[in-house]
Copies of this chain bind each other. A is one copy, B any other.
């Protein structure tokens, strides 16, 4: 497994390889869990070369967010990736990616505005910018993202389409702990008690799915039922509960086609998100 820190070295290796070999990329911020590893396994299966990037991207964190405390464990990450048979890990330093006079940003203006974009201004601009940089450095044919960050996945698909990148962006299903909590590096912020409250995110998803199965089609009714679950526990504070068209991310009043229910909530110092598809037959 090659470990590369400098963009120029990655270029050299990618370009000197056999061009007919497909390259798959899994971009991560490290502190890897089974969710990441599910992306890595799919990437390995579908491509001759599997590249994983590990980079905690400062420009996607807001000034009051958890950039400093975001969990890191490079040694463990590398040993996990080695075991998965990854070909190359790209793990640059911040200074390798952002010069002092860095001044170019990629901004998706439509899908980025609601959901997490509303409370995290600049977040998706930071995400798009780093993902485009990683795409340009590592030149993947396919890139793998988790559906847990559903809005991010749609924003990146849109960026790839709009900027004429010849990259297949592949969303992979949410991986959950046995108790239903969606895997996230930020789950490590949770105390045992908080973790119990955090389970309400998944429970609210199941409730919504059940309502839809029973025939409920009013998005307001479904959202109210979800909010009731959050309101039942003072340790969890909902930031948003939204039902959106699964591609355009436009608000839906009535479930006439496939939608996504997306929620964000805070428990202790952890800001957690989760989502599920709602399919009205």
Chain B residues near A7: list those with CB within 8 A. 164
Chain B residues near A136: list those with CB within 8 A. 163-166
Find residues 1-55 in chain A having any chain B CB closer than 8 Å to their own CB: 7, 11, 15, 19
Q: In the docked arrangement, what's the CA distance between A49 and B101, Å?
A: 34
As for how many copies of this chain the complex holds, the number is: 2
What distance in Å separates the Cβ of A47 from its nearest Cβ neighbour in chain B? 17
What distance in Å separates the Cβ of A280 from its nearest Cβ neighbour in chain B? 24
Chain B residues near A159: list those with CB within 8 A. 104
Instruction: Point out the residue from B102, B104, B106 that lies within 8 Å of A104, measured CB to CB.
Output: B106
Chain B residues near A110: list those with CB within 8 A. 101, 103
Chain A facing B: main interface SS: mixed
A212 at the interface (CB under 8 A from B): no
Find residues 87-139 in chain A having any chain B CB closer than 8 Å to their own CB: 99, 101-111, 128-129, 132-133, 136-137
Chain B residues near A133: list those with CB within 8 A. 162-164
What distance in Å separates the Cβ of A93 from its nearest Cβ neighbour in chain B? 14
Closest to A98 in B: B162
Q: In the docked arrangement, what's the CA distance between A23 and B189, Å?
A: 50
Contact across chains for A102 and B162 when beta carbons are under 8 A apart: yes
- From A7, A11, A15, A104, name the one whose CB has the most chain B CB atoms within 10 angstroms: A104
A158 at the interface (CB under 8 A from B): yes
Contact across chains for A104 and B137 when beta carbons are under 8 A apart: no
Chain B residues near A99: list those with CB within 8 A. 161-162
Q: In the docked arrangement, what's the CA distance between A132 and B162, Å?
A: 10
Q: In the docked arrangement, what's the CA distance between A190 and B130, Å?
A: 45
Pairs A–B under 8 Å by Cβ, sample size 19: A7-B164, A99-B161, A101-B110, A103-B108, A103-B158, A103-B162, A104-B107, A104-B108, A104-B109, A104-B128, A105-B106, A106-B106, A106-B163, A129-B163, A133-B163, A136-B163, A136-B164, A136-B166, A137-B164
Residues of A within 8 A of B (CB): 7, 11, 15, 19, 99, 101-111, 128-129, 132-133, 136-137, 158-159, 161-166, 248
What are the nearest 8 A-B pairs in CB distance? A104-B162, A103-B110, A136-B164, A103-B109, A104-B108, A104-B159, A137-B164, A133-B164
